[in-house]
Structure 1
Amino acid sequence: MKNGSCRVAGFWVASLTLASCGTEGRFDPDLRGWMNGGLDTAPAAAQAAPRPQPDNRGVITFANGQVAVAQAGDTPATVAARLGLDAGQLASHNALPADAPLRSGAVLVLPTKVAQGTVARPTGIAAIVTDPFAKGTGTKPAAPSPQTPSEHVVASGETAWSIARKYDVTVQDLASWNGLPANMDLRVGQRLIVPKPGTKPDVLATTVPGTGSPTPKPPSAATPLPDETTAPASEPAPDAPTTDLGATRTAASGGGPLRMPVSGSIIRVYEKGSNDGIDIAAPSGTPVTAAGAGSVAAITRDTAGVPIIVVRHEGDLMTVYTGLDGVDVAKGDTVSAGQSLGKAGNDGFVHFEVRRGFESVDPEKMLN
């Protein structure tokens, strides 16, 4: 039965993949505009208004916040310097290292408000030709946009298409407003500005002049609704069971040399080759500590900018910690068991690995 289910799932995945290629061979994971029928979701999202133009410093001021549009060669640090903001605060607010290179046109959501700039100076011919009858030579202050886009923080597993569907906008509008790359790549913690969807066409109004609008057919017009007799409940429904997350924690062997790096339930166990560590539930801001005494061998970051800390211990052991938001140690530091390494991030868990040399081992067998 299991293999049959896999084959059915594989069939549907293949069918949807082929269907989503569209009539011109372009991959359209959102299935919008592919065909007229059940899969046509084009009416689901009308085109939004274009993103407002930034001021001379690259800032767009909305009624409910501000964003900065990156220029070629920008990093969060250079944008922060241009706007008089703290580079670390701007970078962490957008889940990026301060020195991360930015795409031209990419958007950074500002953590605090900055003063409005002036209208961006025109380029080319428009910058040379002036109106001899115009009064005054001063620059015009940039007016705030009346638009109020939503702000969305990307969570693990989300895509540009799923976010676009959630807010009822097209993925093209989401991409153009945020300067996304062609592959629509997102990072966990990235802040997106989501425009208000455009006005959807009134289907009933699109009729030939003089014919009037058709009357919608009620659901019960073809077949009357069946009689329904609902029996009264003989007794109240039982209370929903409460889940004790602490009780879901997998028991450790009790005789290992290491301690739990974070106080929480083990929500994913070790499986060599597929999960070379354990995932421990940890709300954002939970302290993450060294599982044993040792020295910080390395601090790096994954592709989403999330810190990864490696601590070397006696006996050729190494422990690895990821899913952190902040780091309290530096490479080469000597740490004691229980010493703070940083704080848990926004993923809801901390990933913890134990390695002997380059081989992963089950962390639960090493915990005391």
Structure 2
Amino acid sequence: MTAAPRTATALALVLTLGACADGLDLDLRGKIGSRFDTSDAARQAVADRPDPDDRGIISYPNYQVAVARRGDTVTSLANRIGLSPGELARYNGVQVDDPLRRGEIIALPRRVAEPSPATGAPTTGPIRPAAEVDVATLAGNALDNAPDTSQRRSASQPQPQTGEEPVRHQVTRGETAFTIARLYGVTPRSLAQWNGLDSDYTLREGQFLLIPVVQDSGESATEAVTDPGDGSPTPPPPSASRPLPQETPPAANTPAPSAQDQATAPEPDPEEPVADIGQEAAEPARDAAMIKPVEGAIIRDYAKGRNEGIDISAPAGTPVKAAASGSVASVSTTAEGVKFLLIRHPGDLITVYTHLDNITVEKGDAVSRGQTLGKVRPGDPSFLHFEVRQGFESTDPMAYLR
């Protein structure tokens, strides 16, 4: 008997014994044949499957699925979400009258109306990664602190669901929940929970499965792990990870400069003047990290928790420039009609521009320092709100403009 049949026979025996005994190792941590060892997957926690809306829809940027209810058939589910039963059945390889298990995932052949508060979802649109959602809401948070209180949004606005888009796998002939789980590095149990599989983990050819999203444990993927008895790896010395400082401090016995030396020393260059509130700001130093997006008086300065950026007075129609080179992360309009855009920069910096009109860039565009992004929108007064974020924490923009 070859190795492959022996392994398959051993696996079949374990599954058979599991039917009449407790403690079946569904994660196969017992290393029954190294090819079937999923102990690494067993140690990885997966995120919870997102909640569907009232229709049962879970929407992602690239596809949508429906979650069946107790007592559903393909026809009843199709009628609830507004699709043809025949179309939905053909796409999933089932019949229109086939019963569905509670929690079973059914793939949609085409998009239906997005989840929204009208369908029981907290917000409108597909589920996106938390970073994208946070970026898209930064400018809205800035508007909450803008001078025009009529444009402030409710503090009780519901938060959107966030998460990575799962891989959507279509079952082929001969595949099982165990082989698919091993393929993607997840446990069969989590695969069953995400897809509403029965206790036997039954699959059908042509069925669509959502692959659970593995959560980051925060541990280094390259951390050395040794077997018991082999000892622990020697940690690197501190000097390997903490290089010496670039600058060498002066020697302790360096004499202080004499009065004559001080008298003959050249005068230092005067510092560049900086902007005062309510006055025109001077040109930033040529080596400043950023340039002012518009020239004008700063009518409202930075105050963390009250104004997360600065408001720069400028006539309506004034061109708005990119403060630094980067890529456009978001271009959108609030429910109140206020346009905004966000630009990502090296070093995890984000600049936020609100109260714009005639935006000339799109999401994903690369922009250079000084490139025109749009124009200041009309207002009373007209101004540009400008923020600098380190990650998602606001910081005083003047520190980058001087």
TM-score by shorter chain over 0.5 = no
Q: TM-score range by the shorter chain?
A: 0.3 to 0.5
Quick check: which one's helix share is greater? 2
TM-score (norm 1): 0.44
Give 1 or 2 for the bigger CA radius of gyration: 2
